[in-house]
Amino acid sequence: MTPAFLAGAAALLLATLALLLRPYLMRRKAGSAPTQRRINIAIHRDQLDELERDRAGGALAEADYATAREEIQRRLLDDGSAIEVEPAAATGGRATLAAIALAVPLLAGGLYAWLGNPGALNPPKAEHKVSAAEIDDMVAKLSAKLEKEDNPQGWVMLARSYKILGRFDDAGKAYGRAGSFIDKEPALLADYADVLVAGSGTFGAKPRELIAKALKLDPDHAHALWLSGTAAFEAGQFNRAVTDWERLLTQLPPDSDEARSVQGSIGEAKARGGKGGAAPPAAKAPQKVGAGGTVKGRIELAAALKDKAAPGDTVMVIARPADGSRMPVAVLKARVSELPLAFSLDDSLAMSPDHALSKFKEIIIEARISKTGMASPQPGDLLSAPRTVKVGATGVRLVVDQVRP
């Protein structure tokens, strides 16, 4: 418990005891006043003194004096021999005070222990950070446990754990062990297809089958639509890709990064021969404020992560304004098989002529490798550290050396 809490509790306890004990303390003080017996004795003594004065002054005969004196002495003896009984409140006061002083703290402490939360007052323990080895051990134990029981939900949980760890082949096998449990869940079907593509680097027959099942159950399922469009784009079916992505676009917030990325993919599909692929009217050239309106550099994949990337994985170089805006000013796509890659960003890669690279003096640039090419970052994506550079810079080096958790 903290010192501040203990001090506050003690102050409240003392205040409560003071209020409860005040009447008893006041009564004890009142009990210290002269008793009736002492008052009566003092009166009798005054009467004897007055009687002596009357006798000496001749106002009282000797016989009357003797009779009156005897009467006063008798009453004085009666009052003096009587036993003075202390009021019950006074005799029991000390016991009551002691009982209250003990009972209140004990009762308060007992009630807090029963109804309160004493443990919350203890300083928080330092959190134990789970290491990668501990996570692998937990996943291995879950896998061993599932081998001994029929638990499709458990296999789905294991598949998702493998996906987060970037073990896409194991994730695909775990989804396969879930059996028919996932057949009526479009989200699970799409995720199953996603990990299969991430493991193989291409859209084979099985992922396409799973995507088709997911869209049959839910024609507007966002993940399945993205995968369907990507599969069509890979196969050169650009009209189909445009159709799927335009349907996906209607479900995304218009100003979101995801919507802008999908718009860029639609534009690329149209440029490669998709519907509406005719060149748009020439836009007015933007006024350039950057030096040359280009950024040039080189992308490399760290040796430690080469086993986590397949040749067909999508490489994206994304440039955003340094002022914090999330809308990209340029997006370049390539394949892992092309790495290391010399890149050049310019206004032709802008997603909007009014938001072109040459309109900015500084940009933040980063590289990302995606198994599925999805617009938004996904667990398991490989990343470079973002860099802030001036427009017109050359020799910018981006090293993909991180894994998105």
pLDDT given for residue 371 in this prediction = 79
Tokens of 373: 């090419």
pLDDT in tens, 287-298: 444 445 789 999
pTM of model > 0.75? no
pLDDT of residue 189: 93
Q: What is the pLDDT of residue 291?
A: 45
Which of the two residues, 260 and 123, has the higher pLDDT score? 260
User: What's the pLDDT at 209?
Assistant: 94
- Residue 48 or residue 222, greater confidence: 222
pLDDT digits (tens, 9 = 90+) for 38-66: 666 777 677 777 777 777 777 777 777 77
Long-range contacts made by residues 67-73, C-beta under 8 angstroms, separation at least 24? 72/44, 72/47, 72/48, 73/48
**How high is the pLDDT of residue 279?**
43
Q: Which residues of 5-32 are buried (b: 16+ CB within 10 A; e: fewer)?
A: eeeeeeeeeeeeeeeebeebeeeeeeee
pLDDT at 120: 61
Question: Average pLDDT of 334-358?
Answer: 83
Model confidence at 314, in pLDDT bands (50, 70, 90)?
confident
| 92 pLDDT tier (thresholds 50, 70, 90) | low
How far is the CA of 320 from the CAs of 8, 245, 350, in angstroms? 54, 23, 10
* Tokens matching residue 312: 């067909």
Between 351 and 197, the more confident residue is 197
Residue 301: strand pairing partners: 400
Render pLDDT for 114-164 as a digit per residue (tens, 0 to 9).
766 666 666 555 555 556 677 778 888 888 888 888 888 989 998 888 887
Which tens digits make up the pLDDT trace of 359-392? 888 999 999 998 777 666 778 889 999 999 999 8
